[in-house]
A and B are shown apart, each in its own frame.
Chain A
Amino acid sequence: MTRFIIRRLISIPLLLLGIVSIAFLISHNTQGDPLASIVSERQMDNPEVVAAAKARWGLDKSLPEQYVLYLRNLITGDLGTSFRTKQGVGKDILERLPATLELVIAAMILGVGSGIVLGVLAARFRNKPIDHAARLWALTGSSTPVFWSGLILLYIFSVVLGWLPGPGRLDPRSVPPEFMTGFLTIDTLLAGDFAAFGDALHHLILPALVLGWTVMGIVSRLVRGSMLDVLSQDYIVAARARGAGELRVLLNHALRNALVPTLTIIGFTFAYLITGAVLTETIFSWPGIGSYAVEAARNLDYPAIIGVTIVGGTAFLLSNLATDIAYAFADPRIRLS
């Protein structure tokens, strides 16, 4: 076990170095001029700014030296300064992190939860209409462009029906709660402001649904598959023979074991959710990292784009590591292979 974890941990710094190297490569080839990735066009004819940037990132030095400087700057948390916000990219990302996490966690709960329910139903009623409907629903979810379904749902539920609020995290007229966790649903509760809590929750529903729907499909297919494997095993037959109720067999006996291989979906879903969050946040004007990345890309704000890419890659890597370790804990056979 420990050996397995250590082996996986050793690969992490190497992969991180790889991520950073690719980022360096990208920033170095920006528009054919590395300076373009550090200094915005407007500042280009300001010799002071250009000289300062060159000195800080070592652009007048040799390539290996530049690489070392780049690494050193990154390790100290310096991801460069955004052209657009005029702030450090690291600071920008930290400010926006809670919004993205709140959305992704909500979407994960909705997507994984409904995916498991759907997967169990599909396995139990295999090749029956419920199974086919679940498959259709799941495939539709992973086939819908979130930037379109988000617009359509906003139009239906916010404009036509008026049931849910428009884009954003809170009613623009209201005062945001004091910053505690950055999760508005939690902060409003901590402040004891239930009206604001309801408002935050209402704002969260649509984007979380749109985002969650994209992963529900994968989750339900995986759960269905592993449920089918488990349901055909002897101990299930034995449990049924002993007279255990259907619900008890499904949930207590089968699902528990079926969920072990499904642990891998945590890594999968995270990848999907990051991808989806970029576009969902844009549609819902959600002030998270995703919409920050899109704004940066639209304005060719290179330090911000590359910074988000590094942070996203790192987060992705760590979530995969966590999944692997959780999986090894849950299923001893993995460690041996």
Chain B
Amino acid sequence: MGKRERALLRPGKFRGRVLVMDAGDVQRAVWRIAHEILERNRGTEGLVLVGLQSGGVWLAKELAKAVAAASGSEAGRAVPVGALDVAYYRDDIGLRPVLPVAATDVPVALDEAVVVLCDDVIFTGRTVRAALNALMDIGRPAAVQLAVMVDRGYRELPVRPDYVGKNLPTRRDEMVDVSSEGVMLGEVVDEVSAGGQS
């Protein structure tokens, strides 16, 4: 479960237990995924990276830098980056508090673009489903691909990422915290008990 899912649940505090990837690992994964994106799409033509609010936005930005750098002299040109908030497309509205965390901002037209959705963690696949629906209301991309830093399993919908930083076996009740600083596996604990331990 990534930051977004955690924020949707009752208040708690993430307590990391195991460092699964350090900052260097994350950076190397970004570079590898950037190369895979270039390889699959034969360059940056028509490419748009769209991060899912909020955990996927930094990944989209990092990938955009890496893709631009890796594509070398051919393109030095920037790859457009967007941010998508899928709150209004979620299927659990009314079941638990669902509020957008930040504005959707897709600066270019998506018609005929190749959109790479970027997120920190893929878990049930429901967020990606919501994102696909949201994208279709914004434009009609030629193709949509999915890049995630961590795939932790437990899919509930037929969704599979195209680019994965790390496949990480987890328990269902565990949490995964992803940032450019690294990937932590741990649990969410009550504010009270967390406070008691600190």
Co-complex (A, B): no
Residues of A within 8 A of B (CB): none
- Which B positions have Cβ atoms within 8 angstroms of A? none
